[in-house]
Amino acid sequence: MKLSCEVNVHHLTRVEGHGNINISIKNGVVKKAQWEVIETPRFFEAMLVGKHWENAPYICGRICGICSIGHTLASIRAVENAFGITPSTQTANLRLLLKHMETLQSHILHLYFLAAPDFLGVGSVLPLAKTHPEVVQRALRLKLLANDACDIIGGRRLHPTRTVVGGFTMLPEKGELEKIRQRLMASVPDLLASAELFKTFAIPDFTRETEFVSLKGETNYPFIGGGLVSTDGVVKKEHEYRAMTNEYCKKGFTSKLSKLSRPSFAVGALARLNNNFALLHPTAREISKFLGLVPVNHNPYMSNVAQLVECVQVVLDSVQLIDALLGSPWQEARQPVKAKQGEGVGAVEVPRGILYHYYKFDKDGKVIKADCVIPTSQNHANILHDIEALASQYAKTGKKDREIELLAEMLVRAYDPCISCSVH
Amino acid sequence: MSEPLSYLGVPLARPKVGFFELSSCEGCQLQLLNNEATLLDFLNLVEIVNFREGMSERADTYDIAFVEGSVTRKDEIARLTEIRKNAKILVALGSCACFGGVNQLKNRFRDLDWVKKEVYGDFPIETMEVHPLKDFVQVDLEIFGCPIKKEEVERIVTDLVVGKAVHHPEYPVCMECKANENICLFELGEPCLGPVTRAGCDSWCTSNRRGCWGCRGPAEGANLKQLEEIMHTYGFSSETILDRLECFGGFASFADAVRSPSPNKKTTARRKKS
C-alpha cells in the first residue's frame, strides 16, 4: 500500500480568488498540510480614510464581486448605526429581500457551478450542459430569478445602484414584485429537485469538531444585524465584534485570520444553521433533515447541504416579505441623513458567513478609521486545521495522490471561499 | 450546443478564450456568468480554455485573453507579461484593468508604508503603487465599467469573433440618460459625472437615480471645467466632485487638477487647485 503522498495545488480552481493547498505525507506521517492565501491586498480600509461617509458603501461594495450587495448593506448599516438612523420597516424589508436574493444567487452559483462538478466527476459545469442539460437549465433558472430580483430591488445585480444610507434612491414597481413573487413560488419544485440531486451526492465522511459563529436570531432566521453567538457559548453584541473575531496576521497568508474559544472557528451557512436551526421555515427544516443535516453538524462538506437548505429558507421568506411590501402603500424611499461624530458597526450574514463593517467618523462625517472583517478571513484558520486533520485521517489509508488532492480541493470549495474578499 | 456557426455565409472559428484576474473583486468575470438567458449561446461562440474561477482545466495558449483587475504587486507584472505572450489579443476587462479602478484610490497617499501600516500594522506585506495593464503590456482592447455591462461585452466579443471593428461611443452617458427620458439628477440634488463620462452603459446608474461616478472614464472632448462650473452652480462642493473623479482612475489627470492637499498629513502636499 502506498503511504506517501504529495499534493501541490497552485491557484485552486473553482473558488473566488487565489489560494494554494500543499500536503506532504511520508510513510503514513503528515509532514506538511497547508492552506496558503497569496491574493494581493487592495487596502480598502486605508482607501476610505479622509473620505466623506457617502463614499463608504459605494467603495466597500466593490470589495467583492459575488456578495457586493452584502458588503454594501453591511457598510450602510455601519454608517446608519454611527449616525443613529433606524431604517423604516419598508426599507428593512426591501433590504432583507435584496439580501435574500443575493444569498440565493450566490448559493446556486456555488452549488451548481463550483461544487457540483466534483460530485459529478467533471472539471466544470461546461460538460454538464451536454450530459445533464436539465440540471444546468435548472441552475440557470434559479440564478436568473435571483439576479432579476436583485436588479429590480437594488438596481443592479452586481455593485447595486439604488442602495444608499437612509434607504433607496428608487423603489421597485409593485407589479414587478408581484411577478417575482410568482416566480419564487414556481421555483419551489426546482429547489426540491435540487435537494433530490444533492441527496445522490456522496458527501465525504469527515468531521472535526470546531466552533461555529453567526448572528443569533430571536424570532427569525437571522441575516441583518442583531446579537452574535457561538456554539461554544460565547455571546456578544454587534458592536463588540472585535471580541468575536480577534484578528491576527500569519506567515503564508495575505489575509488576516481569526480565532475565538479554540485555535479556529467557522462561519457560513453551516454555522448559521447550527446556531439557528429552530428558526428555519418548517419546510426548510424538513429538507435539512431529509439531507441528513441536523445540528450541531461538524462535517465541513455539509456546508453545501446547508447552503441548499438556506436557498429554500430565503425563497419562502422572500414570499412573505413581498406579501408585506405589497400589503401597504409605498412610503418615502429614503430618509434624510445627518452626519455626526461617532462610530458604528454593521454585522450582516452574507452568503459565506458573518461580515462586519466598522467606521469611525469625525464631526464632518469623514472617515477616521475603517475596519472590515470578512467571512472567508474568519474561515481561513478553520480551513487550515481541517486540511491538517484531513491529511492525518487519510495518511494511513493508502489513497492515491489525486484522491487526497480532490478531497482537499472539495473541502476548501465547501467553504465557498471568497479569497480576494478576505484579503481586500 | 456546439453546432458550427457562420456569419454572412462564412464559417466562424471558435476562438480559444482565457479569463484571468489580477487584483480585483472578480466581479467582471462573474458578470459573464450572470447572463443566464444568453450564457449558453455565448459559450457556443467561443471555446473557453482558461477560467480558473469556473473550471479546473487550464491551457497555455489562447486567441483572446480577458484580463480583469489592476497590477498591485510585482509578481502580477510577470503573470501579465506571460499572459500577453500567450495571447493573440489581450483585452483589459473592466475599470480596474483599464484605469486601476477603485484599487488606485490608495495611490492618493504618497506614503505606501502608511497605507500598509493602517491595515496590517507591523506585519510585513508586499504591495506597490496601483497601475492599469497598459502601463506594462500592450492592450489591444479596453472594456470599460465597474462592473462591465454584460450586453456590451457580448456585443464586443461577437464583433471580435466575426472580425468586425470594435467601436466605443464617443458621446457621454448624459446622452443615453436623456434618451432614457430620466429626470436630470442635478434637479434632484444628486451630483453626477454623466455629462463627461463615456457612454455605453445605457445610463445604468443614472436610470436608477444614482449619480454617475465616472467608472467608464472620460468621453471624447469631456469638458471638465464646464462640469465643475455647473456642479458648483448646483451647490456641489469641489470635494464631492473630486470623490467621483478620483474613484476609478479614468479621470486621474482631471482629479489632479481639482485635488486639494491629500488627507494623509504625512504625505507631500499635492498640486493646489489651479
B262 Cβ contact list (under 8 Å, min separation 6): A50, B108, B109, B110, B268, B269, B270
For B6-162, CATH number out of 1.20.1050.10, 3.40.50.300, 3.40.50.700, 3.30.1120.10 equals 3.40.50.700
DSSP string covering B59-109, please? -S-EEEEEEESBB-SHHHHHHHHHHHHHEEEEEEESHHHHH-GGGGGGGGS
* Within a domain: A9: no
CA angle A272, A274, A278 (to 5 degrees): 90
Is the pTM above the cut of 0.90? Answer: yes
Instruction: Tell me which residue has cell 489581450.
Output: B90
What is residue A1's predicted lDDT score, i.e. its pLDDT?
A: 66
B39, B46, B55: which to substitute to probe chain A, counting the most A Cβ within 10 Å?
B55
* Within a domain: A32: no
Q: What is the per-residue pLDDT across A312-359, written as a single tens digit (0 to 9) for each?
A: 999 999 999 999 999 999 999 999 999 999 999 999 999 999 999 999
User: What is the rounded average pLDDT of the residues A179-185?
Assistant: 98
Cβ under 8 Å to B: A residues 125-154 = 125-126, 129-130, 136, 140-141, 143-144, 147
Domain CATH for A115: 1.10.645.10
A11, A15, A20, A42: which to substitute to probe chain B, counting the most B Cβ within 10 Å?
A42
Size of interface A-B (CB pairs under 8 A): 168
* Within a domain: A322: yes
Q: What is the per-residue pLDDT across A356-400, written as a single tens digit (0 to 9) for each?
A: 999 999 999 999 999 999 999 999 999 999 999 999 999 888 888
What is residue A149's predicted lDDT score, i.e. its pLDDT?
A: 98
Q: Are the Cβ atoms of A157 and B34 closer than 8 angstroms?
A: yes
What is residue B261's predicted lDDT score, i.e. its pLDDT?
A: 47
Cell of A273: 444553521
Give me the number of domains chain A comprises. Answer: 1
User: What is the rounded average pLDDT of the residues A5-14?
Assistant: 92
pLDDT along chain B (274 residues), means of 10: 72 88 93 76 83 81 94 97 95 97 95 96 96 98 95 87 90 98 97 98 97 98 94 96 97 86 44 36
Secondary structure tally for chain A: helices H, strands E: 15, 12
What is residue B44's predicted lDDT score, i.e. its pLDDT?
A: 80
What is residue B58's predicted lDDT score, i.e. its pLDDT?
A: 81
**Number of Cβ atoms within 10 Å of the Cβ of B79:** 16
* Within a domain: A31: no
Q: Are the Cβ atoms of B23 and A40 closer than 8 angstroms?
A: yes
What is residue B60's predicted lDDT score, i.e. its pLDDT?
A: 82
Considering only the beta carbons, identify the residue of B57, B102, B262 that sits closest to A124.
Answer: B57
Q: What is the per-residue pLDDT across A207-265, written as a single tens digit (0 to 9) for each?
A: 999 999 999 999 999 999 999 999 999 999 999 999 999 999 999 999 999 999 999 99
Domain edges within chain B: 6-162, 173-258
Domain encompassing residue A179: 44-423
* Within a domain: A29: no
* Within a domain: A166: yes
* Within a domain: A30: no
Q: What is the per-residue pLDDT across A39-86, written as a single tens digit (0 to 9) for each?
A: 999 999 999 999 999 999 999 999 999 999 999 999 999 999 999 999
Q: Are the Cβ atoms of A52 and B39 closer than 8 angstroms?
A: no
What is residue B2's predicted lDDT score, i.e. its pLDDT?
A: 52
Say whether residue A170 is in contact with chain B using an 8 A CB cutoff: yes
Strands A227-230 and A211-216: antiparallel
What is residue B40's predicted lDDT score, i.e. its pLDDT?
A: 73
What is residue B33's predicted lDDT score, i.e. its pLDDT?
A: 74
Q: What is the per-residue pLDDT across A126-162, written as a single tens digit (0 to 9) for each?
A: 889 889 999 999 999 999 999 999 999 999 999 999 9
pLDDT > 70: what percent of chain A? 100
Say whether residue A63 is in contact with chain B using an 8 A CB cutoff: yes
A117 interaction partners in chain B (CB closer than 8 Å)? 55-56
